[in-house]
Amino acid sequence: MEPSSPEVAAAPARPADSGLHARVLEHLGTAICGGELAPGSVLNIDELVDRYAVSRSVVREVLRVLASIGFIEARRRVGVMIRPASAWNVFDPQVIRWRLASAGRIAQLRSITELRTAVEPHAAYLAASRIGRDEASDLVGLAAKMWAAGEAGDEERFLHLDIEFHRRVLLASGNEMFVRLQELVAEVLTGRHKHHLMPHHPHEQALQMHADVAQAIQRRDGERARQAMVQLMEQAFDEMKSLWEQTALPDRSTDGGPTTSR
C-alpha cells in the first residue's frame, strides 16, 4: 500500500472525511436528503452492516448521529424509520451541505436567502453599536476592495471579498447565532456565483450599498446600516428570483413516481 513515500501527494482529510464513520454517514445523509430513502421507509441495522460492509459499531454510531439531527428514529422490533423533512434540523451545517448537493438545492438556497434577508439587516443594525474601531475600519476597507475588484471584473476575488464582508458584519453583530449563519451565507453566495446569477461587473448600486453599510456601521448609525443592508438583500433576492421561478413548485402533493424504492 503506502510505504510512506516522500511525496505524500494526497494526504488530505484533516477534519472529518476519511474513516468509515464519515463515509457511511455521508452516504446515508445524502440518500435521505436526496429522497432516495423516502420518509416512512424502514431500514435495519444488520442490513446496513451488510450493505456497507462495516461493523455494527460504525453503523450504530452513524445512526445515533442521524437520529440527533432528526433524520431517523429507531424503534425496537421495527427498525430504523426515515423521518419526514419536517423533523430535520435544517440549521445543521451538515444537513445544509447535503441539501445543497441534492435535488432540493434550489429550495435550500431560497430558504437561506430569505433567512439572510431577515437576519442581515438586523445584524448590520446591531453591528453599528457593537463593532470595534479597527473592525469598522477593516469593514470599510473591505467595501473599498470590493469596489476595486468589481471595477476590474475580477469575479473570483469579488466573491471572496463579498463573503468576507458579510462574515464580518455577522461577526460584529455580537450575536453568536448570527455568527453561525456566516457559513450559510457563504454557501449562498458561492451558489449564486456557480449559477451565474451575478453580472460580470457587479451593479454599481450593489457596490455603493456595501460601502454604505460599512460606513453607516462605522458611524454607528444603526438605522442607516439596516436600511442599506435591506436594499442589498432586496437586490440579491431579485437576482436570484429567476432561480426559483424556473424551478418553482414541483407540486409535491401526490408524489407521482414511486421513485427508486430500492
- Within 10 A of 162 (CB to CB), how many other CB atoms are there? 25
Residue 72: its H or E element: strand 72-75
User: Whole-angstrom Cα distance, residue 158 to residue 186?
Assistant: 13
- Smallest distance from DNA to CB 56, Å: 4
Question: Three-class SS of residue 141?
Answer: helix
Selection from DNA, a second copy, none that 190 binds (CB < 5 to 8 A by kind) is none
Pick the stretch among 74-82, 101-109, 183-191, 253-261 that binds DNA (CB under 7 A). Answer: 74-82
Instruction: Yes or no: say if 198 and 157 are a contact pair by the CB < 8 Å rule.
Output: no
Under rule CB under 7 A, residue 57 binds DNA: yes
Helices (H), 131-221: 133-152, 155-172, 176-180, 182-194, 204-218
Question: Three-class SS of residue 43?
Answer: strand
- Smallest distance from DNA to CB 51, Å: 12
Place of cell 457587479: 202
Q: Find the binding residues for a second copy in span 49-68 (CB under 8 A).
A: 57, 60-62, 64-65, 68
Q: Find the binding residues for a second copy in span 105-144 (CB under 8 A).
A: 111-112, 114-115, 117-119, 121-123, 126
- Smallest distance from DNA to CB 13, Å: 7
Selection from a second copy, DNA, none that 169 binds (CB < 5 to 8 A by kind) is none
- Pick the binder of DNA from 17, 51, 56, 177 (CB under 7 A): 56
Grid coordinates in use for 247?
424551478
E-assigned strand segments in the chain: 42-43, 72-75, 79-82
Residues that bind DNA (CB under 7 A): 19-21, 43-46, 53-58, 60-61, 63, 74-80
* Chain residues in the site for a second copy (CB under 8 A): 21, 57, 60-62, 64-65, 68-69, 85-86, 89-94, 111-112, 114-115, 117-119, 121-123, 126, 175-180
